[in-house]
Amino acid sequence: MKKYTYTEKKDTRSGFGAGLHEAGKKNENVVALCADLVGSLKMDAFIKDFPERFTQVGIAEANMIGIAAGMTIGGKIPFTGTFANFSTGRVYDQIRQSVAYSNKNVKICASHAGLTLGEDGATHQILEDIGLMKMLPGMVVINPCDYNQTKAATLAIAEYEGPVYLRFGRPVIPVFTDPDQKFEIGKAWMVNEGTDVTIIATGHMVWKAIEAGEKLAELGIDAEIINIHTIKPLDDEAILKSVKKTGCVVTCEEHNKFGGLGESVARLLTTELPTPQEFVATNDTFGESGTPDQLMSKYGLDAVNIVEAAQKVIGRKK
Amino acid sequence: MKHTIKELEDIASQIRRDIVRMVHGCQSGHPGGSLGCADFFTALYFEVLNYNTDFKMDGIGEDLFFLSNGHISPVWYSTLAHAGFFDKSELATFRKLDSRLQGHPTTHEGLPGIRVASGSLGQGMSVAIGAALTKRLNGDKSYVFTLHGDGELQEGQNWEAAMFAPFHELDTLICSVDYNGQQIDGPTKKVLSLDSLQAKFEAFGWHVINTDGNDMQSIVEGLHYAKTLTGKGKPILNLMSTQMGAGVDYMMGSHKWHGTAPNDEQLATALAQLPETLGDY
């Protein structure tokens, strides 16, 4: 097992804030909008340096999505910011018609995704957003795994032409990816090569997959770990190549197992290479109030759950 | 004036012929609101709006128009064709398989003149605001026009947008409301009353003007007047009285013809009331 270490913990939303600021410096067409959550989205640096390119929309997310769609007409590249719940479910039809169907170059940037939003509870903890967004034709869906990857992803989507959903979160987590990485949309990152089981993880679950890989190594199991940061378009080639070698797969996501990364992987494998698969994901449930760690534990999204799923799926190999 | 009132009325007559023929041709679509707005579209595209028919999505230096109540697509398609965006023969493909003239307007098939999809109601004002903000950032002084149904204003997103535009002093924005008092299920007064739209928009900070949307003189003068009101810190709302089905006697003033196609006999009756002025497609 390749050794991963970290010297600091940061929130992925701060990676977004840093990326947005840098994208703003690189390209004067980058503009930002926010629905009364500037601090939560870490947009302060962008606003300070580019006040005329920032629009405070107020608590009116539907209007924000429509305005963003309109701002592309004339060449702007709008980044909208609010919580994941209000970035997707609340404005699904506005995204569907004014952004996705109209093929507008809008970047929907969503913080506080998943259970790790914590104490605010289920009204704010969306576990359905990946599914909602990946269903939209032409929508790119990205869920980066740490501060550095989120920053790199933010810069990459500024250069990509077309609608994107970028999902990140609130908790501080280890920063373990390369600060100078080049983020390639749709290209998986090989975290660790192995032979016994493929662990595919996205977002906050990638660090947990690394922890699980270390525990599995102690048990004599050689896990291959792949980071799928881009859920759509999926890196079919990387997944098939790995699964051909290992013969089984565990998918890990801070999202409902219905509609998430795991289902995308299952769709690929069932048509190309039928393979035993286990899902580390929430099981058709809403969240609740609690600390992020308590919630990840209660809903089965810890390293120990990945270890158990890996052992189970290895047992299912023919 | 680029045209006389009579010339504009003749264009509107042809557009009305196209509308009933298009809706009859596919036996679906929305003739009522389309007919009611034929004069507005004629005035806008043949007298007021500054545009290039060599269509560019970004519309730099051009006036932009967004149709929020997308179901009245027939009137827009006919207007765009006669304005020169595409050949009028394409009007025959309305709502048919593989057409660029989808039931509701869309950019998806690349029809020139259209900049965003509409149909699911209530989204156009927000998009227009975004386009106006970008024009402001680009130092582009041209105008942004919209049209909304009155029933459509029951959608909440409109009021988010209506609050935003005056607060941000979007004074290049000229929104019109097709104030015909009808919606699918009946008169707006019975379905969900809009009460005084003038008072509502004025309370939100708009400059409201009133026009007769089925009187060419009134609508042309109204839109020119609206342009003189721009640049004064307020968006402009043109509250435009219309009759659903205007121009076809048996369709007028009733919600029955909101989304119903005429049969052969009804088509003949309608066409007899609408002189062919520019040549049928």
- Model pLDDT for residues A138-192, shown as the tens digit of each residue: 999 999 999 999 999 999 999 999 999 999 999 999 999 999 999 999 999 999 9
Q: Is the pTM of this model over 0.90?
A: yes
**Residue that is written with structure tokens 């919630």 in the block:** A295
Nearest CA in chain A to B118: A97
Q: How confident is the model at residue B104 (pLDDT cuts 50, 70, 90)?
A: very high
Q: Choose, out of B133, B141, B152, B163, the residue to mutate when testing the contact with A (most A CBs < 10 Å).
A: B133
Which structural domain range is residue A299 located in? Answer: 189-315
Residue B1 banded pLDDT, cuts 50, 70, 90:
confident
Per-residue model confidence (pLDDT) at position A106: 99
Question: Which domain-ending residue is among A140, A174, A208?
Answer: A174
Q: Is residue A165 within 8 Å of residue A185, measured between CB atoms?
A: no
Q: Reduced to 3 states, what is the DSSP secondary structure of residue A11?
A: strand
The pLDDT of B251-255, averaged and rounded, is 88
Q: What is the pLDDT of residues B168-227, one digit of tens each?
A: 999 999 999 999 999 999 999 999 999 999 999 999 999 999 999 999 999 999 999 999
Q: Do A62 and B160 touch (CB under 8 A)?
A: yes
pLDDT tens, position by position, A189-238? 999 999 999 999 999 999 999 999 999 999 999 999 999 999 999 999 99
Using CA atoms, how far apart are residues B50 and A210, in angstroms rounded to an integer? 60
Taking 90 as the threshold, does the pLDDT of residue B255 lie above it?
A: no
Give domain status of residue A181, yes or no.
no
pLDDT in tens, A248-296: 999 999 999 999 999 999 999 999 999 999 999 999 999 999 999 999 9
> Which pLDDT score is estimated for A110?
98
With an 8 Å Cβ cutoff, are B131 and A63 in contact?
A: no
Give the domain-ending residue among A174, A201, A234. Answer: A174
> In angstroms, what CA-CA distances link A141 with A91, B198, B210, B217, B259?
16, 43, 46, 51, 37
Q: Which of A74, A76, A78 lies at the smallest CB-CB distance from B59?
A: A74
8 A C-beta contact, residue B39 and residue B240: no
Residues A140 and A232 in one domain: no
pLDDT given for residue A289 in this prediction: 98
User: Do A24 and A145 reside in the same domain of the chain?
Assistant: yes
Query: Is A1 inside any structural domain?
Result: no
- Predicted confidence at residue A239, as pLDDT, reads 98
Q: How confident is the model at residue A22 (pLDDT cuts 50, 70, 90)?
A: very high
SS3 A105: coil
Residue found by looking up tokens 């005329």 in the block: A52
Q: What is the mean pLDDT of chain B?
A: 97
Which of the pair, B100 or B254, is modelled with greater confidence?
A: B100
Nearest CA in chain A to B110: A102
Q: Report pLDDT digits (tens) over A67-82.
A: 999 999 999 999 999 9
CATH number at residue A134: 3.40.50.970
Are residue A168 and residue A310 in the same domain, yes or no? Answer: no
The pLDDT of residue B253 is: 81
A92 and A130 assigned to the same domain: yes
- pLDDT cut 90: percent of chain B above it: 98
Q: Predicted confidence band at B254 (pLDDT cuts at 50, 70, 90)?
A: confident
Whether A154 and A287 map to the same domain: the answer is no
Taking the C-alpha atoms of residue B255 and residue A115, their distance in angstroms, rounded to an integer, is 48
Q: Can you spell out the DSSP letters for chain B?
A: --S-HHHHHHHHHHHHHHHHHHHHHHT-S-HHHHHHTHHHHHHIIIII----SS--TT-TTS-EEEESSGGGHHHHHHHHHHHTSS-GGGGGGTTSTT-SS-SS--TTTT-TT--S---STT-HHHHHHHHHHHHHHHT----EEEEEETGGGGSTHHHHHHHHHHHTT-TTEEEEEEE-SEETTEEHHHHS----HHHHHHHHT-EEEEEETT-HHHHHHHHHHHHHTTTSSS-EEEEEE--TTTTSGGGTT-GGGSS----HHHHHHHHHTS---S---
Residue whose token pair is 């109030």: A289
DSSP A123: T
Task: Return the residue in B115, B127, B163 with the most chain A beta carbons within 10 A, the one to mutate for interface testing.
Answer: B127
CB contact under 8 Å between A74 and B125, yes or no, is no
What pLDDT is attached to residue A19? 98
Domain assignment present for A183: no
Residue A318 confidence (pLDDT):
79
Q: How far is B146 from chain A (nearest CA, A)?
A: 12
Structure tokens belonging to residue B213: 């949307």
Judging contacts by C-beta atoms under 8 Å, the chain A residues touching residue B118 are: 97
A125 and A217 housed in the same domain: no
Average pLDDT, integer, range A296-305: 98
Q: What is the CA radius of gyration of chain A?
A: 19
Shortest Cα distance from B100 to chain A (angstroms)? 14
Residue B127 dihedral angles phi and psi, to the nearest 5°: -65, -40
CB contact under 8 A, B123 and A97: yes
Chain A hits for B138, CB-CB cut-off 8 Å, are 74-75
Asked whether residue A279 is assigned to any structural domain, the reply reads yes
**Total domains present in chain A:** 2
Q: What is the pLDDT of residue A225?
A: 98
Final residue before a domain boundary, out of A174, A203, A232: A174
Residue A303 lies in a domain: yes
Say what the pLDDT of residue A269 is: 98
A53 touching B (Cβ < 8 Å): yes
Pair A65, A128 in one domain: yes
Same domain, A170 and A200: no
Is residue A168 domain-shared with residue A225, that is, in the same domain? no
Q: Is the Cβ of B56 closer than 8 Å to some Cβ of chain A?
A: no
Average pLDDT over residues B123-140: 98
Put simply, the answer to whether A71 touches B128 (Cβ < 8 Å) is: no
Instruction: Calculate how close chain A gets to B133, using CA atoms only, in Å.
Output: 7
In this prediction the ipTM stands at 0.98
Q: Which of B82-91, B132-141, B171-180, B248-257 has the lowest mean pLDDT?
A: B248-257
DSSP state letters, A196-261: SEEEEE-TTHHHHHHHHHHHHHHTT--EEEEE--EEES--HHHHHHHHHHHS-EEEEEEEESSSSH
One domain, residues A127 and A154: yes
- B114 and chain A: CB distance < 8 Å anywhere? no
Is residue A2 included in any domain, yes or no? Answer: no
- Any idea what the CATH number is for the domain that residue A259 is in? 3.40.50.920
